[in-house]
Structures are given as C-alpha cells and as structure tokens.
C-alpha cells in the first residue's frame, strides 16, 4: 500500500548565519562520505553546507555531521561511493556551518517546481524510430507566499538574502519530525499583494543550488 505524507503542520526556516569556511582536504568514496578536515571544530549534529566542491554533484549540499573526530567527520546520509559521480582524487572542498535558523511564519501556497528530466532525442539515418537519452534535469525550486509583516523576526533575513544574492540554507520540518534541507538562492517581492478581502502577502522564491538532503528525524 502506498504511504502518503501530508505537509500539514510543516514549518520552513532560513539560516541566519554561517561560520567561517573550513578546508576539506578530501572525501572518501563511501556511504557515508568521510571528510578529512584538519581541526574543523564541528560536533555531531552540526548542520553544514558543502559550499564549494571539486565534485559538482556535491556542490551546495547540506549535510549533518556524524562520527566527528579531531580531523575528520562523516557526511551523514550522503552516499559518495560512486566514482562516476564522485571521481576519486577530485574531492577537495570547503564547508561552512549553519549558525542559526529563523522560521518563516504565515506561509501560504508553497509549491515545488522544476527538476524535470530533459532528453536528447534523435536517431541515426538507418533507424525507423527516434531514441530518447536522458541528459540533465531542469533547475528546481520552491515558490510560496508569506504574510506581509515587516516586523516579523524572519523579514530582514529574507530581505537581506534577496538583496545580496548569496545562497542560504533552508530547513523544512515535517509534522512527523522528518527534516529536508536545501541550499537556495532566495528571492522576495518588494510589493505586497492587494487583493480585496484576502490577506496581504509577499512572494518568496527558493532556487536550489544543490540536491536536497532528507533526515528521518
């Protein structure tokens, strides 16, 4: 039987700051990937972003630190074992810790978009039908409306993110305790909606930089 998850009761939070970047010397081809990083200072449970990476498929990925040691830690739940997607010897990166979160309140009509598979389609001269070969996926994101309230605790953080055009970490917490993490460019409309008999809202867009990461709790 299919298992469905309802988004009712979920919350969306945006990062309020990052620690100084730390150097990642290497990451193993393993599940989870094990990071070598001298005196990184992270502890288990810290949320980090792989901000720059020699591995394009790890770029902009949010991860939770696990099995932390003085000069190493695991990227919990991140499988980097494929040497096709993660070529050996090319994993030098930087990481930075999320230092705080603020919840975006009064969220209305959130919806995901993009991420559709794209294809090359064609055929050699002698063939009688075309072939479709998967290529890349389209850019993905989340669009939502939020209550127009410049005094809200989240307002300045979202406005700053839209202004400086630097990515932020975003955390979606489901009512069952599961968490989804994204690293996104944030956009925010400057003019609120003005529809009669409807609440004033502003549009917020979250454009994903890397793949999302999910933890069951």
Check pLDDT > 90 for residue 96: yes
Token pair for residue 188?
């925010």
Question: What pTM does this model have?
Answer: 0.94
Give the residue extent of every domain in the chain.
Answer: 16-98, 103-120+132-215
Mean pLDDT of the residues in the chain: 96
pLDDT digits over 13-42, tens only? 999 999 999 999 999 999 999 999 999 999
Check pLDDT > 90 for residue 2: no
Which tops the pLDDT comparison, 6 or 23?
Answer: 23
Beta strands in 4-80 (DSSP E): 11-18, 22-24, 26-27, 34-36, 47-53, 61-69, 72-76
pLDDT digits over 178-213, tens only? 999 999 999 999 899 999 999 999 999 999 999 999
Token pair for residue 31?
């599940």
16-98 falls under which CATH superfamily?
Ubiquitin-activating enzyme E1, FCCH domain (2.40.30.180)
Token pair for residue 34?
């094990």
Cis geometry, peptide bond prior to residue 32 (ω within 30 degrees of 0): yes
Token pair for residue 4?
């469905």
Question: Residue 35's beta-bridge partner residues?
Answer: 27, 73
Give the pLDDT confidence score for residue 52 in this predicted structure: 86
Q: How many CB atoms lie within 10 A of CB 133?
A: 8
Residues 4 and 26: beta-carbon distance below 8 Å:
no
Q: Return the percentage of the chain with pLDDT > 90, whole number.
A: 94
Displacement of CA 17 from its chain's centroid (Å): 15
Token pair for residue 83?
């040497």
Distance CA 4, CA 8 (A): 12
Distance CA 145, CA 111 (A): 10
Give the pLDDT confidence score for residue 3 in this predicted structure: 85
Residues 26 and 50: beta-carbon distance below 8 Å:
no
Section 62-91 average pLDDT: 96
Residues 37 and 22: beta-carbon distance below 8 Å:
yes
Residue 85 has what DSSP assignment? T
* Inter-CA distances, 33 with 21, 167, 180, Å: 19, 23, 19
Give the pLDDT confidence score for residue 216 in this predicted structure: 94
CA dihedral 215, 34, 115, 148 (to 10 degrees): 50
Which tops the pLDDT comparison, 52 or 145?
Answer: 145
């Amino acid at each position: 039987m299919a298992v469905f998850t309802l988004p009712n009761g979920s919350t969306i939070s945006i990062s309020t700051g990052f620690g100084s970047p730390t150097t990642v010397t290497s990451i193993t081809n393993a599940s989870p990937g094990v990071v070598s990083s001298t005196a990184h200072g992270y502890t288990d449970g810290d949320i980090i972003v792989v901000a720059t990476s020699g591995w394009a498929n790890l770029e902009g990925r949010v991860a939770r630190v696990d099995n932390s040691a003085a000069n190493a830690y695991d990227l919990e739940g991140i499988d980097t074992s494929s040497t096709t997607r993660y070529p050996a010897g090319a994993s030098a990166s930087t990481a930075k810790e999320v230092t705080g979160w603020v919840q975006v309140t009064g969220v209305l009509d959130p919806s995901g978009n993009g991420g559709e598979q794209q294809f090359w389609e064609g055929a050699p001269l002698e063939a009688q039908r075309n072939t479709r070969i998967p290529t890349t996926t389209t850019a993905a994101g989340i669009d939502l409306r939020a209550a127009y309230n410049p005094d809200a605790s989240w307002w300045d953080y979202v406005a700053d993110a839209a202004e400086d055009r630097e990515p932020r970490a975003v955390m979606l917490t489901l009512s069952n305790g599961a968490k989804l993490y994204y690293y996104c460019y944030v956009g925010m409309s400057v003019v609120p909606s003005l529809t009669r008999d409807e609440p004033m809202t502003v549009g917020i867009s979250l454009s994903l930089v890397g793949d999302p990461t999910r933890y069951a709790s």
